Structure formats: structure tokens, C-alpha cells
Homo-oligomer: A and B are copies of this chain.
Amino acid sequence: MIVVIKPNTTAEQTKDVVDKITSMGYGVNVSQGAERLIIGVLGVREDKDMLAAQLRSFECVDRVVSISRSFKFVSREGTQAKTVVRVNGDVHIGDSAVHVIAGPCTVEGRDMLLDTARFVKSRGATMLRGGAYKPSTSPYSFQGMGKEGLQILAEARADCGLPIVTEVMDPRDVGLVSEFADVLQIGARNMQNFNLLKEVAKAHKPVMLKRGLSATVEEWLLAAEYIYAGGNHEVILCERGIRTFETATRNTLDLSAVPLLALLTHLPVIVDPSHGTGKWELVTPMACAAIAAGADGIMIEVHPRPADALKDGFESLNFEKYAKMMEAVRPIAAAMSRPIASDSRPAVQVTSG
């Protein structure tokens, strides 16, 4: 940590800063530059962020610059090997394959979910998505089927063998959702719902952590750190677009986060081009781009009849379009020397077609 002192500061004021630092057990390295006095804070302690905040309250302090990363466990520095999250015997997110997670935004009923699950499996999905609890900006919108939705998801899994990822929104629901889900999804609006993060940290299921709408990559990794430090090391990151001034797309999909995360963290990263763009026309090209950027997987909204979807039909692919998307992404994955996960496993017994 570096403390930059304002010009025209008295020796007494500077001494107050130094005393503050040393009183908390840190060492100092004072260096007079040409234009500014700089104080290096030496030592590693849990309260370094607090000290930084306190030092910024001094009138003579111009800036406090952090040097170390604030995330530890999820940092690439600590663990050199990339994390592979083992969802079940077949699905290992972060391995050499590209995973396709597909399904409807929301579980709307038994038939639509089973139809979708069977179709996406027949065309290369290795995990089924579908919301039973749905966050909605408006209180007047559909908010999901709840427990019944979870039961339908479990039935689809039993039927076609795909593990399921589904959102949990409430710390009180973590136990229930964990009984049904293979992967617990934390939605973008809950990325900094810290009590929910602490609760899924205690669950015995992998967590897919979506990036918040206005979260920096650092904040996202700190949210992952909550889960990791809380005891759950099976964390998958999911880029789903950030909020910018551009209104032509629902969000701005930040694909540069994918290679950036590969530098910063050992956790696997998948991309959701459906929410990331909010336009079905853009889903396939951005799925291709995500894989080319190095994503470990893509998550795609698929609905039998988007024109009847209870939520987000405008960004959902119908079966035909989903099949075409799979044809488009396969050569891209191959160009990246990564198979589509369903192609790489010996045991892809097609259950429907």
C-alpha cells in the first residue's frame, strides 16, 4: 500500500500519518519524490483495507494506492492450476471441453421443460438451465413456479440425464434448492447479496456466480472469494453483460473479461449471450465469439415457442435456431482445439432426436 501525501504538508501532519500506520503494526518506507512525499506501508495484515480507508480521511493524504490484490483464494497467483468444477461424472466445467448449458429462462410447465431438455440434449447440451425462482424488475411479472418448478427440473434430469443449474435468490431457499439442483446459480442482481453468498458457501453444490450489472471484475472476484473463503471451492463464473449507455442491446457483453479472468483467477468462466445481448438475433454470433475468446462454456436460453414464453422470449432461441447455433459453434470450438463437451465423451447415448 502506498500513501501519497499532498504538497505543502507540514512535517507534523506527515508524522501523524506515519504514527497511524505504525500504531497498527505496519512498517513504513518514506520516500521523497520530486513532487510528492510517498509512504510505503509494509506488512500484511487482515486490517489493511480498513487502514487504507482511515488514511484517506487525513487532510494531508492525496491518495492511497493498493498494491496487492484484495482477493486471495480465487487469485491465479495462489493456485497455478485451473480449477475444474465437477458437476457430475460427465460434466467437468473448466476441463478441455466447451460446455453448452441450455434451457428455458423459466420453468413454465412439465411438457415444455421435458421437450426442451430432450431437444437440447440431442443437440449437444451437457447441462439444463431453467429458473424456478425468478427475479423480476416489476412486481407484476411472473416470478417462477417455485418448488414445483424444482420438481419438474428434477424430473427432466431423471428423464434425459442432464444435470441442472437453477437460480437461488433467498438465503432461506438454499437448502431446498440444493436438494434439487446440481449447480446453484447466483443471479446478477444478487452478486453482492452477501448473506446469500455466505449461505451457498455452506452448500455442498457447485455455484455459478453471474457478474453483477455494474460489477467490476475485481468486485466479481471478491464475491467469488466470499463463496470460496466460506468453504465452497466449486465456483463457476458467468459473464452476462454489464450495464452501459448503449441501449441497442439489453446489456453490453464484456467478452474481454474472459481472457482477463484467465490471467487473474483459476476459476472457470462461462458466457451467457442470451442475457448479454437481449436479442435472439445476436445469440449465435456472440456464442461463437465467447468460445473464441476462451470461454469454458456458453449458457443459452431455448424455448419451444419464444412467442409464448412467460419471460424473455425475445432473447430465446427456438429449437431450430438452437440446432443451427450448435452447428455454428462446433467449428469454432474445434478451431480453439477444444471439443464441444457432448462430442468428447464416449457415453452420449442420444435419448431423443
* A residues in contact (CB < 8 Å) with B: 2, 4, 7-8, 20, 29, 31, 33-36, 38, 40, 42-44, 46, 49-50, 53-58, 65, 67-68, 70-71, 77, 135-143, 169-172, 189-190, 192-195, 213-214, 216-219, 222, 225-226, 229-230, 242-249, 252-256, 258-260, 263, 276-277, 279-282, 285-286, 288-294, 306-314, 316, 331-332, 334-336
Q: Which listed residue (B138, B242, B286, B336) contacts A246, Cβ 8 A?
A: B242
Give the residues in chain B near A43, CB-CB below 8 Å: 34
Using A254-B246, A285-B293, A291-B292 as known contacts, say yes or no to A35 and B67 having CB atoms under 8 A apart.
yes
Chain B hits for A56, CB < 8 A? 313-314
Partner of A225 from the list B139, B247, B311 (CB cut-off 8 Å) is B139
Q: Copy number in this complex?
A: 4
Contact B285 A138 (CB under 8 A): no
A332 touches which of B33, B195, B214, B292 (Cβ 8 Å): B292
CB-CB nearest 5 A-B residue pairs: A214-B214, A56-B314, A292-B292, A331-B335, A57-B306
Chain B residues whose C-beta falls within 8 Å of the C-beta of A142 in the assembled complex: 50
Tell me whether B259 and A245 are in contact (CB under 8 A).
Answer: no
A300 CB to closest chain B CB (Å) equals 15
Is the beta-carbon distance between A314 and B44 smaller than 8 angstroms?
no
- Whether the pair B2, A65 counts as a contact (CB closer than 8 A) is yes
A139 to chain B, nearest CB (A): 4
Residue of B54, B139, B172, B214 near A307 (CB, 8 A) is: B54
**Chain B: minimal CB distance from A302 (Å):** 12
Contact A282 B254 (CB under 8 A): no
Write the nearest CB–CB distance from A52 to chain B, whole angstroms: 9
Residues of chain B within 8 A of A334, CB atoms compared: 331, 335
Closest beta carbon of chain B to A37's beta carbon, Å: 10
Q: Is the CB of A50 within 8 A of B4?
A: no
Cα distance A216–B40 in the bound complex, in angstroms: 28
Tell me, in angstroms, the Cα distance from A65 to B38 when the chains sit together: 12
Q: Which of chain B's residues has its CB closest to A246's CB?
A: B216
* Complexed CA–CA distance, A191 and B312 (Å): 21
Known: A20-B307, A54-B309, A285-B294. 9 other contacts (CB 8 A): A34-B42, A36-B67, A65-B65, A139-B229, A169-B193, A244-B245, A256-B277, A256-B286, A334-B335
Minimal Cβ-Cβ distance residue in B for A293: B289
25 sample A-B contacts, Cβ–Cβ < 8 Å, listed by A number:
A4-B67, A7-B77, A31-B42, A33-B68, A38-B40, A49-B138, A50-B310, A53-B309, A54-B306, A57-B280, A57-B309, A57-B313, A57-B314, A135-B192, A136-B194, A216-B246, A217-B248, A244-B245, A256-B282, A259-B286, A263-B281, A288-B292, A289-B289, A289-B292, A292-B293
